[in-house]
A and B are shown apart, each in its own frame.
Chain A
Amino acid sequence: MLSLSGLSLAFGERQLLSGLELRLNSGELCWLQGANGSGKSSLLNAISGIIPEHIKARFSGSISLSGKDFTQQPLCEKFHWLWHAQSEPETQFFFPTCEAELAFALENQGVPAAEINRRIEASLEQFQLESCREKSPLNLSQGQQKLLLCAIGCALDPQLYLLDEPLAGLSESSQKLVLNWLKAEKSRGKIILVAEHNPALQQLSDHTLQLTKTDSFATPENASQTAALQFLTPQPVSSVSLPEATKPEILIQTRNLSFAYPRSGQLFSGLNIAVPSTARILIRGENGSGKSTLLKLLAGLLRAQSGSVRLAGRELNSIDPTAFDHLYYQGQSTSDNLLGISPRQNWQFWKLALPSLPDSPWTADPLFSELSAGQSKQAALSILPWLLDKFWLLDEPFAALDASSTAWLKQLLTTKSLHHPGMIVVSHSADGMAELFDEVWTLENGCPSREARS
């Protein structure tokens, strides 16, 4: 049994958790819910011991697993009992191959080589990652990286799983893989805590713990920080007064585009697409099918092996600042969409690009490292209302967002679709929004099959 008793957690003057009590028996799953910044990840960090060992916070209370006091164990020994998959997968990989990532914890446990091999095979099969064994984890799609984190846990086979946003950015079939695995682990008596916004988890949850956001900055010096964090909450869609650029009929065109990652099979071969300036396209597909790669190719972030990408009639061979006259690309990894170390610095960089932007709305300057994954995502998205006249290339914009931010983004996309059409959105979470798009593309074997909307 996992037992949390009188658990309190505070960062500076900000009390995040106070006297939390939780008991989970073997085979039970607890679903942690709450807005971005409400403390879901911090609770998981406190249970695993990252807080206070690596992240300094005021922490009190007791945590025990099967009667054993867990707070006394150093972080490096807790892997005998738990697996903690954090929300940002790319920062958790260190080795050149997925196999090495999977083997590392087992090697540290002294598991014999034959058994390590058996467990690696089984976990890769569980998450359909067999073809990724020799690949670099950093070359996987973000969805596949999420699955790899689950596979590491599966291979480790601990008593307790702490999973932070395991379903974010996963396709429907990948979500099923994770949910089936969790179901099986429950039946094997494992204890599972999951921080997740996706309602698909409801079917497995035995307990729901709703965390509320406490922006209770007590001291005067933190008052400005409160205002800054409040800005992260959804704002009404602003009107845009940027000059309307002359838009070509066909904005993006690919001719015989072929692309493959190093040491991987061909992803695209002879791809020909033409995207009008006012197109509204939703791209779906399995994790690893090439959705993000396609967006990167269209934005000039990746160079094709052969063929060409043309933007407004001009060949796009590499990342070109003049492309911003027409389009704005926002990638799946939040850190790639932010510049500087804080929201105010990020805004400063935006002001260089768009001098007509108002002054920074940030009255305080929290570091990005102090914000949760969802809050950072909100900070990255906060520029979109000022870029409605651009063609948007958005990769998984809904991932890691809470319900109110999701509603805000849906409202923004609706405005974009109706009044400033022109976007390609890659998303697994846009099911209720198909009417905003002219076409839905499903990527399979490097080829988009198109389903026209009425």
Chain B
Amino acid sequence: MTSAGQPGSHKQARDTLHPLLHLVFCLAVSTVVFAVSEPAKLLSITLIAFSYAGWRCEGGFRSVLKTLYHSLPLLLSLAIIQILFRRQGALLWGWKGISIHSIGAQMALLLCLRLIAVIFCAKALAELGFSRFSAAFATLRLPEEFSFMLAYAVQLAPGFIRQLKGFMTSLKLRGISPARLPLGDRLQIYKLLSIATLAGIIRNSEAAAIALELRGFRSAGKRSSLHQIRFRITDALVLAGIILAASATILL
């Protein structure tokens, strides 16, 4: 037993719901944010996604905010493009050839909120390991391969970043600081490392596939489970709640 306050207690609390509900929740949020266009509603949904991701993630809200921080360049770039190139609605500000219009600003805000909500959901989903994806899909009676593909897909981006970070560490251990190199050398390094990272991901995927098959992944016959994850009445009620809330948000 893990007592409250011990590191495992948070994990246990996070895993009280059936994993299928997490998939449905993230799917619902990611759908709703693209169906809703009122900024206030969208902000509320994004805050819900933020709270959810903070609850789900091992590192809590700090880890979620860190992910948001790392996504800022992408979000800001998209926002700036929307602001500068959508010249519809009232003129809010202008200077020489640059102008900001109300529709452009609103679209930038909506796009950012939508993407932030999706990023939060993806972050939360990445916490579901293969075994819990597997349990979720088993409830739907879908093949194990689907859960493997999804479990692997959500780990791809974090895996890419992890591998790239590993290479950057190796560079630093050799006394190389890319920031201090001439631009040509720096670009060459980034090119080589990107190729190596992709090659590493492909190689690791192959190694993972071999390791899993050596332990009977995709084998015929009935599987058993060390920890049964039953779909309880509470889970059914939560599922119904998610579907109702999502439908209401879209329709009302």
Contact = CB atoms under 8 A, between A and B. Distances in A.
A117 B222 CA distance: 18
Contact of B130 (A77, A94, A335): A94
Contact of B131 (A75, A80, A84, A100): A100
B170 A339 contact: yes
A348 B192 contact: yes
A99 B211 contact: no
A321 B211 contact: no
Contacts of A78: 214
Contact of A108 (B173, B185, B217): B217
A99 B219 contact: no
Contacts of A349: 171, 174, 176, 189, 192
Contact of B189 (A91, A96, A352): A352
B224 interface: yes
- Classify the interface of chain B: helix, strand, loop or mixed: helix
* Range, interface on chain B: 35 or more
A306 B177 CA distance: 27
A4 interface: no
Nearest to A156: B215
A100 B131 CA distance: 8
B92 interface: no
Interface stretch (B24-32, B81-89, B202-210): B202-210
A92 B208 CA distance: 6
A116 B220 contact: no
A88 B211 CA distance: 11
A113 B224 contact: yes
A78 B210 CA distance: 12
B221 interface: yes
Contacts of B227: 113
Contact of B176 (A112, A120, A321): A321
Interface stretch (A205-213, A276-284, A286-294, A324-332): A324-332
B212 interface: yes
A322 B175 contact: yes
Contacts of A337: 170
Interface string B215-232: 111111111111110000
Contacts of A319: 169, 172-173
A54 B210 contact: yes
Contacts of B241: none
Nearest to A390: B175
Contact of B204 (A91, A120, A152): A91
B158 interface: no
A340 B196 CA distance: 5
A106 B219 CA distance: 12
B208 A324 contact: no
Contact of A113 (B195, B215, B225): B225
Contacts of B173: 299, 301, 319, 323-324, 328-329
A105 interface: yes
A61 to B, nearest CB: 21
Q: Give 5 nearest A-B pairs by CB, closest first.
A: A324-B175, A108-B216, A105-B215, A91-B207, A353-B174
19 contacts: A76-B217, A79-B214, A79-B219, A80-B219, A91-B211, A107-B224, A107-B225, A262-B7, A263-B8, A321-B171, A329-B173, A338-B170, A339-B193, A340-B193, A340-B196, A348-B192, A349-B174, A353-B174, A353-B175
